[in-house]
Amino acid sequence: MNNKIGPLNNTLDRCVAVIGLGYAGLPLAAVIANSGRSVIGIDVDKKRCGKINNGINPIPEEEGLDSLVRAYGGKTLVASTTYQDAKKCDFFIVIVPLFVDENNQPDFSMLENAFRNIGKVLKKGDCVVLETTVPPGTTETFVKDWLEEESKLHVGEFYLAYSPERIMTGVSVSRLKEFPKVVGGVDQHSGKVAFDVYKQFIGNLSLVSTARVAEFIKVIEGCYRFTNIALANELFKIAEELDLDFYEARQHANHQYCDIHLPSTGVGGHCIPVYPWFLIKEMEKRKKPDFTIMLQSSHGVNDGMIDYWIQRIIVYCKEVKKPLPHVKICIKGISFRKGVKSVHKSRNLALARLLKEKGLNVYVYDELFTRDEIEQMNLSFSTPDMVDVVFDPFTLELMSQESR
Ligand SMILES: NC(=O)c1ccc[n+]([C@@H]2O[C@H](COP(=O)([O-])OP(=O)(O)OC[C@H]3O[C@@H](n4cnc5c(N)ncnc54)[C@H](O)[C@@H]3O)[C@@H](O)[C@H]2O)c1
């Protein structure tokens, strides 16, 4: 193993490449540019790159991002679809999505494409860091192999680490400045090299022992939130059945050692509902499915919330003095989370669709989506004031025309 840092000594001069300029990658690229470094952003989406280079923020709902993209886009933050343009960079950060397929198995194709392309421009002394949330062990196995195969270099000649993205869409810029971030290398030296560079633009950073630990940290954080939401959903249903105010009880139950999350229509987006599968599938492979009983049942509880809410909506509609199919229902929000313009795995969109399939007279309203965008999803648009019953999936409030 080569223990010399070599050209990496001058971390302040480093040109950083950020691969993937989406919800996670663009705020990161902008924060790095704001720290005084030049950044080459690589994204396969030509339109997105064009906007960034013209100083236009493609994610307007992301707080604080507009001014950064306006200040650096096309100047010290240059977006390109061509990996060759990142050749002059010596620090590469990858943040492209990892989805699970229809059998909940991770699909590494986007990551493989990104790393093989980096491998083609990788030089001795460069450092590569993965930020996408992945099953523990990914960086030291697949990622290392893809890079070594394409570059004909070996770890030791280049450095390889993992540092999970821990932002939250909508408040990513401030989270990058304040939220604890960890980094771990596939070997000690890689961890240290990556740590020294990140330290230049991340305020709250810890070096952990290995890339595998850093990967596990992010996955278990997601599992905690996923199972906690399942617990909240289960307790909410029990409280309703017992005619108790769940929110009052939760407020007084929560303290230093108790942090019950909020109930919901289930869990959407491409993060929290996906990460438990990484562990469930790995334990299945190792013939230890009984190690993930809680994660599996949390999926059951969270996925079952749509049926629960459909029943509640139907019971509520029966109070309206109209035949059920004529009662106009508005689902006030279809994004997977309030304030994020994305319907990826959205339980609220699924709820609206299921109500429609059941023959109910359902409309959708979401302040982030235009009438056209909603109609393109094959749903009818209406403002909440034009219907008989409104369900707000973010507050779980059911309201009738009379109660508003
Ligand atoms: N969005 C979040 O709140 C969040 C939070 C924590 C972690 N993450 C992590 O970030 C990852 C990415 O999430 P996101 O929300 O930014 O996704 P996104 O879909 O918003 O953005 C991904 C971007 O990568 C680009 N891309 C895909 N394949 C590429 C390739 N081979 N080369 C270059 N660009 C490519 C896409 O065009 C897109 O612009 C997630 O899988 C997750 O692990 C996201």
CA-nearest of 140, 145, 229 to 186 is 140
Based on its alpha-carbon atoms, the radius of gyration of the chain, rounded to whole angstroms, reads: 23
CA distances 264 to 169, 233, 254, 353, Å, are 18, 6, 18, 17
Which tens digits make up the pLDDT trace of 368-378?
A: 999 999 999 99
The predicted structure's pLDDT at residue 236 = 98
The predicted structure's pLDDT at residue 205 = 94
Q: Average pLDDT for residues 339-366, to the nearest whole number?
A: 95
CA-nearest of 174, 216, 19 to 112 is 19
Whether pLDDT at 10 is above 70: no
Domains of the chain: 6-208 (3.40.50.720), 219-303 (1.10.1040.10), 305-400 (3.40.50.720)
CA-nearest of 300, 154, 186, 171 to 233 is 300
Lowest mean pLDDT among 49-53, 157-161, 199-203, 291-295: 199-203
3-state secondary structure of 329: strand
Whether pLDDT at 169 is above 80: no
Hey, what long-range contacts does 121-125 have (CB within 8 A, 24 or more apart)?
Answer: 121/83, 121/84, 121/86, 121/87, 122/92, 122/147, 122/150, 122/151, 122/153, 122/158, 123/90, 123/158, 124/6, 124/7, 124/153, 124/157, 124/158, 125/6, 125/7, 125/8, 125/90, 125/157, 125/158
3-state secondary structure of 184: strand
Query: How long, in residues, is the chain?
Result: 404
Reported confidence tier of residue 107, pLDDT bands at 50, 70, 90: very high
The predicted structure's pLDDT at residue 168 = 76
Whether pLDDT at 203 is above 90: no
The predicted structure's pLDDT at residue 282 = 96
Which tens digits make up the pLDDT trace of 171-187?
A: 778 777 778 899 999 99
CA-nearest of 140, 177, 180 to 164 is 180
Reported confidence tier of residue 239, pLDDT bands at 50, 70, 90: very high
Residue type, 347: R
Which tens digits make up the pLDDT trace of 33-49?
A: 999 999 999 999 999 99
The predicted structure's pLDDT at residue 13 = 60
Q: What spacing in Å lies between the alpha carbon of 229 and ligand 1's midpoint?
A: 24
Q: Give the contacts of 195 (CB within 8 A, at least 6 positions apart).
A: 161, 183, 205, 207
Which residues partner with 400 through β-bridges? 389
Q: Work out which ligand 1 atom sits closest to the CA atom of 48.
A: 39
Whether pLDDT at 126 is above 50: yes
Q: Average pLDDT for residues 292-321, to the nearest whole number?
A: 97
- Residue whose structure tokens are 């190690």: 291
In whole angstroms, give the CA distance from residue 389 to residue 387: 6
Q: What spacing in Å lies between the alpha carbon of 95 and ligand 1's midpoint?
A: 5
Q: Work out which ligand 1 atom sits closest to the CA atom of 59.
A: 20
From 163, 165, 342, give the residue whose CB has the most ligand 1 atoms within 8 Å, as the site to mutate: 165
Which tens digits make up the pLDDT trace of 255-267?
A: 999 999 999 999 9
- Of the chain, the percentage scoring pLDDT greater than 70 comes to 96
Q: Average pLDDT for residues 3-14, to the nearest whole number?
A: 47
Whether pLDDT at 356 is above 80: yes
Reported confidence tier of residue 305, pLDDT bands at 50, 70, 90: very high
In whole angstroms, give the CA distance from residue 141 to residue 212: 10
Q: Work out which ligand 1 atom sits closest to the CA atom of 342.
A: 20
Q: Work out which ligand 1 atom sits closest to the CA atom of 271.
A: 42
Q: What spacing in Å lies between the alpha carbon of 165 and ligand 1's midpoint?
A: 10
The predicted structure's pLDDT at residue 63 = 87
Share the mean pLDDT of the chain.
94
Whether pLDDT at 12 is above 50: no
The predicted structure's pLDDT at residue 178 = 77
CA-nearest of 214, 172, 195, 192 to 64 is 172
* Residue of the CA atom closest to atom 25 of ligand 1: 20
Whether pLDDT at 337 is above 70: yes
Q: Work out the number of other CB atoms within 10 angstroms of the CB of residue 260.
A: 17
Whether pLDDT at 4 is above 60: no
The predicted structure's pLDDT at residue 218 = 97
Rounded to two decimals, what is the model's pTM?
0.91
In whole angstroms, give the CA distance from residue 169 to residue 166: 10
The predicted structure's pLDDT at residue 171 = 78
**Burial bucket for residue 242 (CB in 10 Å: 0-12, 13-18, 19+):** exposed
Q: Average pLDDT for residues 327-332, to the nearest whole number?
A: 98
- Residue whose structure tokens are 């280079």: 53
The predicted structure's pLDDT at residue 270 = 86
- Of the chain, the percentage scoring pLDDT greater than 90 comes to 87
* Residue of the CA atom closest to atom 12 of ligand 1: 97
